[in-house]
Amino acid sequence: MNLPKDPITIGTLAIIFVVVLFQVIRPEPVPETLPAPAAPTDSTTPCRGDPIPLKSAFTGGSFEPWTCKIQCDDQKLRYILYSNGKATQCEELPGCLDYGEDHNITCVPPAITNNRSGS
């Protein structure tokens, strides 16, 4: 067998060999679809601040973009209250992101917290 002796040719062939080898034996295939979002985490932490009521139910994931924006305008802590009684906390002040919604973490609205304590 007659192999090339030119260093550039040998280097090019080596790179091609490594790329082809990597494609054949890559450790994990690339997923064809995105993974499903994580299930919401129900917290026993009470919600703090004033509610921002929504007409949609919370089942996990983000709904309306930047619902907690009002918190930036008036600097009052808020939480998002969904039609199914679930709630998610807005980011701590001075922030105003939809923290609980974005991370699928719920909180317990004050009316539900008061009912649990026997009132």
Give 61-108 pLDDT, tens digit per residue.
Answer: 776 678 999 998 999 999 999 999 999 999 999 999 999 998 889 999
Residue 75 forms part of a structural domain: yes
Residue 62 forms part of a structural domain: yes
Whether pLDDT at 47 is above 90:
yes
pLDDT tens digit sequence for 7-35: 888 889 889 999 888 877 876 666 666 55
Residue 35 forms part of a structural domain: no
For the chain, how many structural domains are there in total? 1
Domain containing residue 64: 50-116
Residue 64 forms part of a structural domain: yes
Across the range 114-119, mean pLDDT stands at: 48
- Phi/psi at 41 (5° precision): -100, 115
Residue whose token pair is 């930047």: 66
Can you give the pTM of this predicted structure? 0.61
Closest CA to 75 of 94, 51, 98: 94
